[in-house]
Structure 1
Protein backbone atom coordinates (compact mmCIF):
# COMPACT_ATOMS: atom_id res chain seq x y z
CA UNK A 1 0.00 0.00 0.00
CA UNK A 2 2.76 2.34 0.93
CA UNK A 3 4.53 1.63 -2.35
CA UNK A 4 1.51 2.36 -4.43
CA UNK A 5 0.93 5.52 -2.45
CA UNK A 6 4.50 6.69 -2.98
CA UNK A 7 4.35 5.70 -6.62
CA UNK A 8 1.13 7.60 -7.15
CA UNK A 9 2.61 10.67 -5.39
CA UNK A 10 5.69 10.51 -7.57
CA UNK A 11 3.58 10.31 -10.68
CA UNK A 12 1.55 13.30 -9.56
CA UNK A 13 4.67 15.32 -8.81
CA UNK A 14 6.21 14.37 -12.16
CA UNK A 15 2.99 15.21 -13.94
CA UNK A 16 2.87 18.57 -12.19
CA UNK A 17 6.55 19.25 -13.06
CA UNK A 18 5.88 18.41 -16.72
CA UNK A 19 2.81 20.64 -16.76
CA UNK A 20 4.69 23.49 -15.15
CA UNK A 21 7.65 23.03 -17.51
CA UNK A 22 5.41 22.88 -20.51
CA UNK A 23 3.52 25.92 -19.26
CA UNK A 24 6.80 27.82 -18.82
CA UNK A 25 8.02 26.82 -22.27
CA UNK A 26 4.68 27.78 -23.78
CA UNK A 27 4.75 31.07 -21.92
CA UNK A 28 8.28 31.75 -23.12
CA UNK A 29 7.22 31.01 -26.68
CA UNK A 30 4.21 33.28 -26.40
CA UNK A 31 6.40 36.01 -24.81
CA UNK A 32 9.02 35.62 -27.52
CA UNK A 33 6.35 35.67 -30.18
CA UNK A 34 4.56 38.79 -28.93
CA UNK A 35 7.36 40.78 -27.21
CA UNK A 36 10.57 39.76 -28.89
CA UNK A 37 10.14 41.63 -32.25
CA UNK A 38 8.95 44.81 -30.53
CA UNK A 39 12.07 44.90 -28.39
CA UNK A 40 14.25 44.48 -31.51
CA UNK A 41 12.40 47.30 -33.28
CA UNK A 42 12.70 49.48 -30.23
CA UNK A 43 16.42 48.78 -30.05
CA UNK A 44 16.67 49.65 -33.75
CA UNK A 45 14.82 52.95 -33.17
CA UNK A 46 17.10 53.80 -30.29
CA UNK A 47 20.08 53.02 -32.48
CA UNK A 48 18.77 55.34 -35.22
CA UNK A 49 18.09 58.07 -32.68
CA UNK A 50 21.57 57.72 -31.25
CA UNK A 51 23.06 57.94 -34.75
CA UNK A 52 21.03 61.06 -35.62
CA UNK A 53 21.97 62.70 -32.32
CA UNK A 54 25.62 61.89 -32.96
CA UNK A 55 25.45 63.39 -36.47
CA UNK A 56 23.72 66.52 -35.17
CA UNK A 57 26.34 66.88 -32.47
CA UNK A 58 29.13 66.61 -35.01
CA UNK A 59 27.38 69.13 -37.29
CA UNK A 60 26.89 71.61 -34.46
CA UNK A 61 30.55 71.23 -33.50
CA UNK A 62 31.61 71.97 -37.09
CA UNK A 63 29.29 74.99 -37.27
CA UNK A 64 30.74 76.28 -34.01
CA UNK A 65 34.28 75.92 -35.39
CA UNK A 66 33.32 77.78 -38.58
CA UNK A 67 31.64 80.50 -36.53
CA UNK A 68 34.81 80.94 -34.51
CA UNK A 69 36.91 81.16 -37.68
CA UNK A 70 34.47 83.67 -39.21
CA UNK A 71 34.53 85.73 -36.04
CA UNK A 72 38.31 85.79 -36.19
CA UNK A 73 38.25 86.88 -39.84
CA UNK A 74 35.77 89.64 -39.04
CA UNK A 75 38.00 90.92 -36.27
CA UNK A 76 41.00 90.96 -38.63
CA UNK A 77 38.96 92.77 -41.29
CA UNK A 78 37.71 95.31 -38.76
CA UNK A 79 41.25 95.98 -37.60
CA UNK A 80 42.37 96.41 -41.24
CA UNK A 81 39.55 98.78 -42.27
CA UNK A 82 41.24 101.98 -41.01
CA UNK A 83 44.38 101.09 -42.97
CA UNK A 84 42.34 100.37 -46.12
CA UNK A 85 40.41 103.63 -45.72
CA UNK A 86 43.64 105.58 -45.34
CA UNK A 87 45.09 103.88 -48.44
CA UNK A 88 41.90 104.68 -50.41
CA UNK A 89 42.15 108.33 -49.39
CA UNK A 90 45.77 108.46 -50.50
CA UNK A 91 44.88 106.82 -53.83
CA UNK A 92 42.01 109.23 -54.37
CA UNK A 93 44.26 112.19 -53.65
CA UNK A 94 46.88 110.80 -56.03
CA UNK A 95 44.31 110.35 -58.81
CA UNK A 96 42.82 113.82 -58.42
CA UNK A 97 43.60 115.89 -61.53
CA UNK A 98 45.99 118.31 -59.89
CA UNK A 99 48.21 118.92 -62.90
CA UNK A 100 48.40 122.62 -63.70
CA UNK A 101 49.65 123.84 -67.03
CA UNK A 102 49.17 127.51 -67.92
CA UNK A 103 46.62 127.79 -65.17
CA UNK A 104 44.66 124.73 -66.37
CA UNK A 105 43.17 121.95 -64.29
CA UNK A 106 41.82 118.88 -66.07
CA UNK A 107 38.52 117.76 -64.65
CA UNK A 108 36.07 115.06 -65.65
CA UNK A 109 33.66 114.68 -62.78
CA UNK A 110 30.27 113.05 -63.01
CA UNK A 111 27.42 115.59 -62.62
CA UNK A 112 29.93 118.38 -63.21
CA UNK A 113 27.17 120.96 -63.66
CA UNK A 114 25.82 120.16 -60.21
CA UNK A 115 29.13 120.90 -58.54
CA UNK A 116 30.21 124.15 -60.23
CA UNK A 117 27.88 127.02 -61.10
CA UNK A 118 27.76 127.92 -64.78
CA UNK A 119 26.84 131.56 -65.35
CA UNK A 120 26.79 131.09 -69.13
CA UNK A 121 24.01 128.49 -69.13
CA UNK A 122 21.18 129.39 -71.50
CA UNK A 123 18.47 127.75 -69.42
CA UNK A 124 19.51 129.92 -66.45
CA UNK A 125 19.22 133.16 -68.41
CA UNK A 126 22.43 133.56 -70.42
CA UNK A 127 22.31 134.12 -74.17
CA UNK A 128 24.46 134.49 -77.26
CA UNK A 129 24.79 138.13 -78.41
CA UNK A 130 26.76 137.69 -81.63
CA UNK A 131 29.53 135.76 -83.31
CA UNK A 132 31.26 138.61 -85.11
CA UNK A 133 32.51 137.64 -88.55
CA UNK A 134 32.63 133.94 -87.73
CA UNK A 135 30.86 131.80 -90.32
CA UNK A 136 29.13 128.57 -89.40
CA UNK A 137 30.26 125.38 -91.04
CA UNK A 138 27.18 123.85 -92.62
CA UNK A 139 26.90 121.07 -95.17
CA UNK A 140 24.25 122.22 -97.62
CA UNK A 141 22.17 119.60 -99.35
CA UNK A 142 20.79 122.07 -101.90
CA UNK A 143 21.25 125.69 -103.07
CA UNK A 144 17.97 126.55 -101.35
CA UNK A 145 19.38 125.41 -98.00
CA UNK A 146 22.47 127.59 -98.54
CA UNK A 147 20.32 130.66 -99.31
CA UNK A 148 18.05 130.10 -96.30
CA UNK A 149 20.97 129.64 -93.93
CA UNK A 150 22.68 132.84 -95.05
CA UNK A 151 19.40 134.75 -94.88
CA UNK A 152 18.79 133.61 -91.31
CA UNK A 153 22.38 134.49 -90.40
CA UNK A 154 21.96 138.05 -91.66
CA UNK A 155 18.63 138.62 -89.92
CA UNK A 156 19.35 136.94 -86.58
CA UNK A 157 22.96 136.66 -85.50
CA UNK A 158 22.05 135.08 -82.14
CA UNK A 159 20.07 132.37 -83.93
CA UNK A 160 23.25 130.81 -85.26
CA UNK A 161 24.60 127.50 -84.08
CA UNK A 162 26.71 129.12 -81.36
CA UNK A 163 23.81 128.59 -78.92
CA UNK A 164 24.97 124.98 -78.67
CA UNK A 165 27.92 126.03 -76.50
CA UNK A 166 25.70 127.30 -73.67
CA UNK A 167 23.38 124.30 -73.64
CA UNK A 168 23.93 121.11 -71.60
CA UNK A 169 23.89 118.70 -74.54
CA UNK A 170 27.30 117.36 -75.53
CA UNK A 171 26.71 114.37 -77.78
CA UNK A 172 28.73 113.91 -80.97
CA UNK A 173 27.63 116.57 -83.45
CA UNK A 174 25.81 118.75 -80.90
CA UNK A 175 28.36 121.57 -81.11
CA UNK A 176 29.04 124.92 -82.66
CA UNK A 177 30.99 124.25 -85.85
CA UNK A 178 32.50 127.22 -87.64
CA UNK A 179 34.69 127.50 -90.68
CA UNK A 180 38.44 127.57 -90.28
CA UNK A 181 40.43 127.55 -87.08
CA UNK A 182 39.61 131.04 -85.78
CA UNK A 183 36.32 132.35 -84.47
CA UNK A 184 34.68 134.29 -81.68
CA UNK A 185 31.42 134.45 -79.75
CA UNK A 186 30.05 137.04 -77.32
CA UNK A 187 27.98 135.72 -74.42
CA UNK A 188 25.69 137.65 -72.13
CA UNK A 189 25.93 136.07 -68.67
CA UNK A 190 22.94 135.74 -66.36
CA UNK A 191 24.31 138.54 -64.18
CA UNK A 192 27.35 140.56 -63.22
CA UNK A 193 29.94 137.93 -62.34
CA UNK A 194 33.41 138.20 -60.81
CA UNK A 195 34.92 135.61 -63.09
CA UNK A 196 37.44 133.19 -61.61
CA UNK A 197 37.61 130.52 -64.29
CA UNK A 198 36.06 128.85 -67.31
CA UNK A 199 35.50 125.25 -68.40
CA UNK A 200 35.85 124.04 -71.97
CA UNK A 201 34.24 120.76 -73.01
CA UNK A 202 34.76 118.61 -76.07
CA UNK A 203 33.83 115.00 -76.76
CA UNK A 204 36.32 112.24 -76.10
CA UNK A 205 37.97 110.63 -79.15
CA UNK A 206 36.58 107.29 -77.91
CA UNK A 207 33.03 108.36 -78.86
CA UNK A 208 33.94 110.46 -81.91
CA UNK A 209 32.81 108.80 -85.16
CA UNK A 210 36.28 109.31 -86.68
CA UNK A 211 38.12 108.37 -83.45
CA UNK A 212 40.00 111.68 -83.55
CA UNK A 213 39.20 115.24 -82.45
CA UNK A 214 41.50 117.44 -84.54
CA UNK A 215 38.57 119.88 -84.84
CA UNK A 216 38.74 120.61 -81.09
CA UNK A 217 39.80 124.16 -80.16
CA UNK A 218 43.38 124.50 -79.02
CA UNK A 219 44.27 128.05 -78.01
CA UNK A 220 41.46 130.14 -76.49
CA UNK A 221 41.25 133.64 -75.10
CA UNK A 222 38.65 135.06 -72.69
CA UNK A 223 37.75 138.74 -72.47
CA UNK A 224 35.39 140.64 -70.19
CA UNK A 225 33.33 143.47 -71.67
CA UNK A 226 31.65 146.43 -70.00
CA UNK A 227 29.13 146.65 -72.83
CA UNK A 228 28.53 144.95 -76.13
CA UNK A 229 30.92 147.03 -78.30
CA UNK A 230 33.48 147.69 -75.57
CA UNK A 231 36.72 148.65 -77.38
CA UNK A 232 38.87 148.00 -74.30
CA UNK A 233 37.89 144.59 -72.92
CA UNK A 234 39.61 143.03 -69.93
CA UNK A 235 41.87 140.16 -70.95
CA UNK A 236 41.51 137.21 -68.56
CA UNK A 237 44.25 135.28 -70.33
CA UNK A 238 44.80 132.62 -72.96
CA UNK A 239 44.48 128.89 -72.37
CA UNK A 240 45.27 125.71 -74.26
CA UNK A 241 42.75 122.88 -74.44
CA UNK A 242 44.54 119.53 -74.35
CA UNK A 243 42.92 117.16 -76.84
CA UNK A 244 44.54 114.21 -75.05
CA UNK A 245 43.23 115.31 -71.66
CA UNK A 246 39.86 115.01 -70.00
CA UNK A 247 36.73 115.99 -71.97
CA UNK A 248 36.00 118.79 -69.46
CA UNK A 249 38.96 121.01 -68.65
CA UNK A 250 38.90 123.85 -66.14
CA UNK A 251 41.03 126.97 -66.60
CA UNK A 252 41.63 129.43 -63.82
CA UNK A 253 41.84 132.99 -65.13
CA UNK A 254 45.38 134.29 -65.32
CA UNK A 255 44.49 137.96 -64.86
CA UNK A 256 41.49 138.31 -62.53
CA UNK A 257 39.46 141.50 -62.57
CA UNK A 258 38.47 143.26 -59.34
CA UNK A 259 35.07 144.06 -60.80
CA UNK A 260 32.41 141.87 -62.31
CA UNK A 261 31.40 141.52 -65.94
CA UNK A 262 28.07 140.65 -67.49
CA UNK A 263 29.48 140.03 -70.99
CA UNK A 264 32.35 137.81 -72.02
CA UNK A 265 33.90 137.14 -75.39
CA UNK A 266 35.47 133.82 -76.26
CA UNK A 267 38.06 133.88 -79.00
CA UNK A 268 39.26 130.63 -80.57
CA UNK A 269 42.72 131.32 -81.95
CA UNK A 270 43.57 127.85 -83.29
CA UNK A 271 42.43 124.24 -83.39
CA UNK A 272 44.24 120.90 -83.31
CA UNK A 273 44.85 120.67 -87.04
CA UNK A 274 41.53 120.23 -88.79
CA UNK A 275 41.82 122.11 -92.12
CA UNK A 276 38.13 122.82 -92.66
CA UNK A 277 36.32 123.66 -89.43
CA UNK A 278 36.48 123.87 -85.62
CA UNK A 279 33.94 122.49 -83.14
CA UNK A 280 33.19 123.96 -79.72
CA UNK A 281 30.87 121.83 -77.59
CA UNK A 282 30.43 123.67 -74.31
CA UNK A 283 31.69 126.76 -72.54
CA UNK A 284 31.07 127.32 -68.82
CA UNK A 285 31.85 130.50 -66.94
CA UNK A 286 32.53 130.25 -63.20
CA UNK A 287 32.92 132.80 -60.45
CA UNK A 288 30.86 134.73 -57.92
CA UNK A 289 27.58 136.40 -58.79
CA UNK A 290 27.55 140.08 -57.84
CA UNK A 291 24.21 141.16 -59.33
CA UNK A 292 21.45 139.22 -61.04
CA UNK A 293 20.34 141.02 -64.21
CA UNK A 294 16.69 140.83 -65.19
CA UNK A 295 16.00 143.68 -67.64
CA UNK A 296 18.21 146.19 -69.44
CA UNK A 297 17.24 149.24 -71.34
CA UNK A 298 18.58 147.90 -74.64
CA UNK A 299 16.07 145.50 -76.24
CA UNK A 300 18.80 143.28 -77.68
CA UNK A 301 20.35 142.81 -74.24
CA UNK A 302 17.18 141.97 -72.41
CA UNK A 303 17.18 138.84 -70.25
CA UNK A 304 13.97 137.69 -68.67
CA UNK A 305 13.70 136.42 -65.12
CA UNK A 306 13.84 132.69 -64.47
Structure 2
Protein backbone atom coordinates (compact mmCIF):
# COMPACT_ATOMS: atom_id res chain seq x y z
CA UNK A 1 0.00 0.00 0.00
CA UNK A 2 2.88 2.41 0.65
CA UNK A 3 4.25 1.93 -2.92
CA UNK A 4 1.17 3.63 -4.52
CA UNK A 5 1.80 7.06 -3.01
CA UNK A 6 4.74 8.10 -5.16
CA UNK A 7 2.66 7.29 -8.26
CA UNK A 8 -0.06 9.72 -7.22
CA UNK A 9 2.52 12.50 -6.66
CA UNK A 10 3.90 11.92 -10.15
CA UNK A 11 0.43 12.32 -11.70
CA UNK A 12 -0.19 15.74 -10.09
CA UNK A 13 2.90 17.54 -11.50
CA UNK A 14 1.66 18.05 -15.12
CA UNK A 15 -1.63 19.60 -13.96
CA UNK A 16 0.21 21.99 -11.71
CA UNK A 17 2.46 23.11 -14.63
CA UNK A 18 -0.52 23.72 -16.94
CA UNK A 19 -2.20 25.84 -14.33
CA UNK A 20 0.89 28.01 -13.98
CA UNK A 21 1.04 28.69 -17.74
CA UNK A 22 -2.66 29.46 -17.81
CA UNK A 23 -2.32 31.92 -15.00
CA UNK A 24 0.65 33.58 -16.67
CA UNK A 25 -1.29 34.02 -19.95
CA UNK A 26 -4.27 35.44 -18.14
CA UNK A 27 -2.02 37.91 -16.38
CA UNK A 28 -0.52 39.03 -19.73
CA UNK A 29 -3.91 39.52 -21.28
CA UNK A 30 -5.09 41.54 -18.31
CA UNK A 31 -2.04 43.77 -18.38
CA UNK A 32 -2.35 44.31 -22.10
CA UNK A 33 -6.03 45.17 -21.92
CA UNK A 34 -5.31 47.52 -19.02
CA UNK A 35 -2.66 49.37 -21.04
CA UNK A 36 -4.95 49.67 -24.07
CA UNK A 37 -7.81 50.92 -21.93
CA UNK A 38 -5.51 53.42 -20.29
CA UNK A 39 -4.28 54.74 -23.61
CA UNK A 40 -7.87 55.11 -24.80
CA UNK A 41 -8.82 56.98 -21.66
CA UNK A 42 -5.82 59.24 -22.02
CA UNK A 43 -6.71 60.00 -25.61
CA UNK A 44 -10.29 60.68 -24.61
CA UNK A 45 -9.59 62.82 -21.50
CA UNK A 46 -6.36 64.64 -22.25
CA UNK A 47 -6.04 64.55 -26.09
CA UNK A 48 -9.43 65.36 -27.83
CA UNK A 49 -8.22 68.61 -29.42
CA UNK A 50 -5.19 66.94 -30.95
CA UNK A 51 -7.28 64.08 -32.24
CA UNK A 52 -9.78 66.54 -33.79
CA UNK A 53 -6.96 68.56 -35.34
CA UNK A 54 -5.44 65.44 -36.79
CA UNK A 55 -8.86 64.51 -38.24
CA UNK A 56 -9.25 67.97 -39.82
CA UNK A 57 -5.78 67.83 -41.26
CA UNK A 58 -6.55 64.38 -42.64
CA UNK A 59 -9.75 65.69 -44.31
CA UNK A 60 -7.93 68.68 -45.75
CA UNK A 61 -5.19 66.45 -47.04
CA UNK A 62 -7.80 64.22 -48.69
CA UNK A 63 -9.50 67.20 -50.39
CA UNK A 64 -6.17 68.57 -51.58
CA UNK A 65 -5.29 65.17 -52.97
CA UNK A 66 -8.59 64.99 -54.85
CA UNK A 67 -8.11 68.49 -56.26
CA UNK A 68 -4.61 67.57 -57.36
CA UNK A 69 -5.91 64.54 -59.17
CA UNK A 70 -8.62 66.67 -60.85
CA UNK A 71 -6.13 69.33 -61.90
CA UNK A 72 -3.85 66.68 -63.31
CA UNK A 73 -6.71 65.27 -65.36
CA UNK A 74 -7.63 68.75 -66.64
CA UNK A 75 -4.02 69.36 -67.65
CA UNK A 76 -3.93 66.05 -69.42
CA UNK A 77 -7.12 66.83 -71.37
CA UNK A 78 -5.80 70.31 -72.17
CA UNK A 79 -2.63 68.81 -73.61
CA UNK A 80 -4.67 66.39 -75.71
CA UNK A 81 -6.82 69.28 -76.98
CA UNK A 82 -3.73 71.31 -77.83
CA UNK A 83 -2.27 68.37 -79.72
CA UNK A 84 -5.54 67.92 -81.61
CA UNK A 85 -5.69 71.62 -82.48
CA UNK A 86 -2.11 71.52 -83.69
CA UNK A 87 -2.90 68.50 -85.83
CA UNK A 88 -5.96 70.24 -87.32
CA UNK A 89 -3.99 73.44 -87.87
CA UNK A 90 -1.25 71.54 -89.64
CA UNK A 91 -3.81 69.83 -91.89
CA UNK A 92 -5.69 73.04 -92.79
CA UNK A 93 -3.22 74.14 -95.49
CA UNK A 94 -3.48 70.74 -97.15
CA UNK A 95 -7.28 70.90 -96.97
CA UNK A 96 -7.30 74.42 -98.41
CA UNK A 97 -4.99 73.33 -101.21
CA UNK A 98 -7.25 70.35 -101.95
CA UNK A 99 -10.30 72.64 -101.99
CA UNK A 100 -8.53 75.00 -104.41
CA UNK A 101 -7.63 72.10 -106.68
CA UNK A 102 -11.22 70.84 -106.60
CA UNK A 103 -12.54 74.32 -107.40
CA UNK A 104 -10.04 74.71 -110.23
CA UNK A 105 -11.08 71.33 -111.57
CA UNK A 106 -14.80 72.15 -111.36
CA UNK A 107 -14.70 75.71 -112.68
CA UNK A 108 -13.86 74.75 -116.29
CA UNK A 109 -16.76 72.30 -116.31
CA UNK A 110 -19.03 74.92 -114.79
CA UNK A 111 -17.84 77.48 -117.33
CA UNK A 112 -18.44 75.01 -120.13
CA UNK A 113 -21.86 74.21 -118.73
CA UNK A 114 -22.80 77.86 -118.29
CA UNK A 115 -21.33 78.63 -121.69
CA UNK A 116 -23.19 75.74 -123.27
CA UNK A 117 -26.55 76.48 -121.72
CA UNK A 118 -26.08 80.15 -120.64
CA UNK A 119 -29.77 81.12 -120.99
CA UNK A 120 -30.71 82.06 -117.44
CA UNK A 121 -29.77 85.76 -117.41
CA UNK A 122 -29.45 86.44 -121.12
CA UNK A 123 -32.67 88.45 -121.36
CA UNK A 124 -31.51 90.61 -118.45
CA UNK A 125 -28.30 91.53 -120.23
CA UNK A 126 -29.60 92.69 -123.61
CA UNK A 127 -32.94 94.23 -124.54
CA UNK A 128 -35.07 92.18 -126.91
CA UNK A 129 -37.26 94.42 -129.10
CA UNK A 130 -38.97 91.40 -130.65
CA UNK A 131 -40.41 90.08 -127.37
CA UNK A 132 -44.16 89.46 -127.60
CA UNK A 133 -44.86 90.32 -123.97
CA UNK A 134 -43.24 93.75 -124.53
CA UNK A 135 -45.45 94.54 -127.54
CA UNK A 136 -43.91 92.77 -130.54
CA UNK A 137 -46.12 90.84 -132.93
CA UNK A 138 -45.92 88.25 -135.70
CA UNK A 139 -47.32 89.76 -138.92
CA UNK A 140 -46.78 87.16 -141.59
CA UNK A 141 -44.94 83.96 -142.53
CA UNK A 142 -45.23 84.30 -146.33
CA UNK A 143 -45.39 80.97 -148.10
CA UNK A 144 -43.83 79.04 -145.23
CA UNK A 145 -45.71 75.83 -144.45
CA UNK A 146 -45.85 74.89 -140.81
CA UNK A 147 -44.76 71.37 -139.92
CA UNK A 148 -47.39 69.46 -137.96
CA UNK A 149 -47.41 65.84 -136.86
CA UNK A 150 -50.81 64.65 -138.06
CA UNK A 151 -51.82 61.88 -135.73
CA UNK A 152 -55.37 61.71 -137.06
CA UNK A 153 -57.62 63.32 -139.72
CA UNK A 154 -59.27 65.35 -136.97
CA UNK A 155 -55.94 66.90 -136.03
CA UNK A 156 -55.26 67.77 -139.66
CA UNK A 157 -58.68 69.41 -140.11
CA UNK A 158 -58.32 71.42 -136.90
CA UNK A 159 -54.88 72.63 -137.91
CA UNK A 160 -56.11 73.58 -141.39
CA UNK A 161 -59.04 75.56 -139.97
CA UNK A 162 -56.76 77.30 -137.46
CA UNK A 163 -54.30 78.26 -140.20
CA UNK A 164 -57.06 79.66 -142.39
CA UNK A 165 -58.73 81.66 -139.60
CA UNK A 166 -55.63 82.89 -137.80
CA UNK A 167 -53.54 85.38 -139.77
CA UNK A 168 -51.06 85.84 -136.92
CA UNK A 169 -49.60 82.34 -137.32
CA UNK A 170 -49.76 80.84 -133.87
CA UNK A 171 -46.87 78.51 -134.57
CA UNK A 172 -44.46 81.32 -135.40
CA UNK A 173 -45.29 83.16 -132.17
CA UNK A 174 -43.05 80.67 -130.37
CA UNK A 175 -39.95 82.53 -131.60
CA UNK A 176 -40.87 85.77 -129.79
CA UNK A 177 -41.81 84.12 -126.50
CA UNK A 178 -39.40 83.34 -123.65
CA UNK A 179 -40.04 79.58 -123.55
CA UNK A 180 -37.25 77.44 -124.99
CA UNK A 181 -38.01 73.89 -123.86
CA UNK A 182 -37.63 70.97 -126.28
CA UNK A 183 -40.46 71.09 -128.79
CA UNK A 184 -41.56 74.66 -127.97
CA UNK A 185 -40.39 76.08 -131.31
CA UNK A 186 -41.61 77.23 -134.68
CA UNK A 187 -41.29 74.20 -136.94
CA UNK A 188 -41.80 74.59 -140.68
CA UNK A 189 -41.46 72.12 -143.54
CA UNK A 190 -38.21 71.92 -145.42
CA UNK A 191 -35.15 74.07 -144.86
CA UNK A 192 -36.45 77.44 -146.09
CA UNK A 193 -38.91 79.75 -144.43
CA UNK A 194 -39.57 83.35 -143.45
CA UNK A 195 -41.35 85.34 -140.80
CA UNK A 196 -42.17 89.06 -140.51
CA UNK A 197 -42.11 90.61 -137.04
CA UNK A 198 -43.36 94.01 -135.93
CA UNK A 199 -41.04 95.29 -133.22
CA UNK A 200 -42.23 97.14 -130.13
CA UNK A 201 -41.10 100.43 -131.73
CA UNK A 202 -38.78 101.92 -134.29
CA UNK A 203 -35.41 100.36 -133.53
CA UNK A 204 -31.92 101.04 -134.80
CA UNK A 205 -31.01 97.39 -135.12
CA UNK A 206 -27.44 96.55 -134.11
CA UNK A 207 -27.65 92.80 -133.59
CA UNK A 208 -29.72 89.64 -133.69
CA UNK A 209 -29.65 86.54 -131.50
CA UNK A 210 -30.67 83.10 -132.71
CA UNK A 211 -31.49 80.38 -130.20
CA UNK A 212 -31.82 76.61 -130.43
CA UNK A 213 -31.80 73.96 -127.69
CA UNK A 214 -28.43 72.35 -126.97
CA UNK A 215 -27.66 68.83 -128.06
CA UNK A 216 -27.55 67.64 -124.42
CA UNK A 217 -31.28 68.12 -123.85
CA UNK A 218 -32.53 67.22 -127.32
CA UNK A 219 -34.56 63.98 -127.18
CA UNK A 220 -32.65 62.52 -130.14
CA UNK A 221 -29.28 63.98 -129.00
CA UNK A 222 -28.89 65.71 -132.38
CA UNK A 223 -29.97 69.15 -133.63
CA UNK A 224 -29.84 68.86 -137.41
CA UNK A 225 -33.17 70.75 -137.54
CA UNK A 226 -31.44 73.92 -136.27
CA UNK A 227 -31.27 76.79 -138.78
CA UNK A 228 -27.92 77.33 -140.45
CA UNK A 229 -27.88 80.30 -142.86
CA UNK A 230 -30.40 83.05 -142.17
CA UNK A 231 -30.88 86.62 -143.31
CA UNK A 232 -32.27 89.68 -141.54
CA UNK A 233 -34.08 92.46 -143.39
CA UNK A 234 -35.43 95.81 -142.21
CA UNK A 235 -38.76 96.99 -143.63
CA UNK A 236 -40.59 100.31 -143.67
CA UNK A 237 -43.86 98.43 -143.54
CA UNK A 238 -45.15 94.89 -143.82
CA UNK A 239 -45.02 94.51 -147.63
CA UNK A 240 -42.18 96.89 -148.33
CA UNK A 241 -40.83 95.91 -151.78
CA UNK A 242 -37.39 97.35 -151.00
CA UNK A 243 -36.23 95.82 -147.72
CA UNK A 244 -32.90 96.82 -146.23
CA UNK A 245 -30.49 93.90 -146.00
CA UNK A 246 -29.00 93.84 -142.49
CA UNK A 247 -26.81 90.82 -143.23
CA UNK A 248 -26.66 87.05 -143.63
CA UNK A 249 -25.41 84.94 -140.73
CA UNK A 250 -24.60 81.33 -139.92
CA UNK A 251 -25.77 79.62 -136.75
CA UNK A 252 -23.16 77.18 -135.40
CA UNK A 253 -24.81 74.04 -134.07
CA UNK A 254 -21.64 73.20 -132.11
CA UNK A 255 -21.64 76.60 -130.42
CA UNK A 256 -23.71 78.10 -127.64
CA UNK A 257 -27.49 77.68 -127.76
CA UNK A 258 -27.90 81.48 -127.91
CA UNK A 259 -25.63 83.07 -130.52
CA UNK A 260 -25.34 86.81 -131.08
CA UNK A 261 -24.56 88.39 -134.45
CA UNK A 262 -23.86 92.03 -135.18
CA UNK A 263 -25.67 93.40 -138.21
CA UNK A 264 -23.43 93.98 -141.23
CA UNK A 265 -25.34 96.85 -142.81
CA UNK A 266 -26.74 99.01 -140.03
CA UNK A 267 -29.25 101.78 -140.73
CA UNK A 268 -29.39 104.85 -138.51
CA UNK A 269 -33.02 105.66 -139.11
CA UNK A 270 -34.28 102.36 -137.69
CA UNK A 271 -37.09 99.97 -138.54
CA UNK A 272 -40.21 98.82 -136.80
CA UNK A 273 -40.67 95.74 -139.02
CA UNK A 274 -38.10 92.97 -139.39
CA UNK A 275 -38.16 89.99 -141.72
CA UNK A 276 -36.21 86.83 -140.93
CA UNK A 277 -35.42 84.53 -143.82
CA UNK A 278 -34.04 81.03 -143.12
CA UNK A 279 -32.14 79.73 -146.15
CA UNK A 280 -30.93 76.35 -144.86
CA UNK A 281 -30.72 74.06 -141.83
CA UNK A 282 -28.10 71.59 -140.58
CA UNK A 283 -29.30 68.66 -142.64
CA UNK A 284 -32.73 67.63 -141.38
CA UNK A 285 -34.66 66.43 -144.45
CA UNK A 286 -38.17 67.09 -143.17
CA UNK A 287 -38.37 70.31 -141.16
CA UNK A 288 -36.52 73.19 -139.50
CA UNK A 289 -37.00 74.44 -135.93
CA UNK A 290 -36.49 78.02 -134.76
CA UNK A 291 -36.75 78.38 -130.99
CA UNK A 292 -36.17 82.07 -130.36
CA UNK A 293 -35.20 85.21 -132.24
CA UNK A 294 -34.10 88.36 -130.41
CA UNK A 295 -33.62 91.76 -132.02
CA UNK A 296 -31.18 94.12 -130.30
CA UNK A 297 -30.44 97.80 -130.73
CA UNK A 298 -31.87 101.05 -129.43
CA UNK A 299 -35.13 102.86 -129.87
CA UNK A 300 -35.10 105.68 -132.39
CA UNK A 301 -36.78 109.01 -131.71
CA UNK A 302 -40.41 108.86 -132.76
CA UNK A 303 -41.53 111.10 -135.60
CA UNK A 304 -44.52 111.70 -137.77
CA UNK A 305 -43.04 109.45 -140.39
CA UNK A 306 -42.76 106.69 -137.82
CA UNK A 307 -46.37 107.20 -136.76
CA UNK A 308 -47.45 106.95 -140.39
CA UNK A 309 -45.33 103.86 -140.70
CA UNK A 310 -47.08 102.29 -137.70
CA UNK A 311 -50.48 103.02 -139.16
CA UNK A 312 -49.37 101.50 -142.47
CA UNK A 313 -48.32 98.36 -140.64
CA UNK A 314 -51.69 98.12 -138.96
CA UNK A 315 -53.49 98.65 -142.26
CA UNK A 316 -51.45 95.92 -143.85
Give the shorter-chain TM-score range.
0.7 to 0.9
For the 8 Å contact 2:116–2:214, the answer to whether it is kept is no
SS class of match (2:248): strand
Taking structure 2 as the reference length, what is the TM-score of the superposition?
0.70
* Number of equivalenced pairs: 265
Distance 1:154 1:59 in 2: 88
Residue number among 135, 139, 149 corresponding to 2:145 in the alignment: 135
2:67 maps to: 49
Does the C-alpha gap of structure 1 residues 262 and 45 become closer, same or farther in structure 2, counting only changes over 3 Å? same
Does the C-alpha gap of structure 1 residues 38 and 147 become closer, same or farther in structure 2, counting only changes over 3 Å? same
Distance 2:264 2:312 in 1: 31
Higher strand share: 1
After superposition, the C-alpha distances for 1:143-190 in whole angstroms (9 at most, x for unaligned) are 232233223223323133000000001111100000001100000000
1:287 maps to: 297
Higher mean C-alpha deviation, range 131-140 or range 283-292 = 283-292
1:297 maps to: 311
Distance 2:50 2:74 in 1: 35
Distance 2:45 2:159 in 1: 123
Distance 1:162 1:188 in 2: 13
Distance 2:273 2:313 in 1: 15
After superposition, the C-alpha distances for 1:200-248 in whole angstroms (9 at most, x for unaligned) are 1111111111111111111111111111111111111111111111111
Higher mean C-alpha deviation, range 142-151 or range 187-196 = 142-151
Q: Which runs of 5+ in 2 are unaligned?
A: 1-35
Does the C-alpha gap of structure 1 residues 202 and 32 become closer, same or farther in structure 2, counting only changes over 3 Å? farther
Displacement, 1:133? 0.3
Distance 2:233 2:240 in 1: 10
Q: Which runs of 5+ in 1 are unaligned?
A: 1-17, 97-104
2:287 maps to: 277
SS class of match (1:217): coil
After superposition, the C-alpha distances for 1:72-127 in whole angstroms (9 at most, x for unaligned) are x89xx9xx9xxx9xxx9xx99xx69xxxxxxxx99825321111110000000000
After superposition, the C-alpha distances for 1:17-43 in whole angstroms (9 at most, x for unaligned) are x99866434569978987766654543
Residue number among 140, 153, 163 corresponding to 1:153 in the alignment: 163
Larger Rg: 2
Distance 1:153 1:246 in 2: 33
Taking structure 1 as the reference length, what is the TM-score of the superposition?
0.72
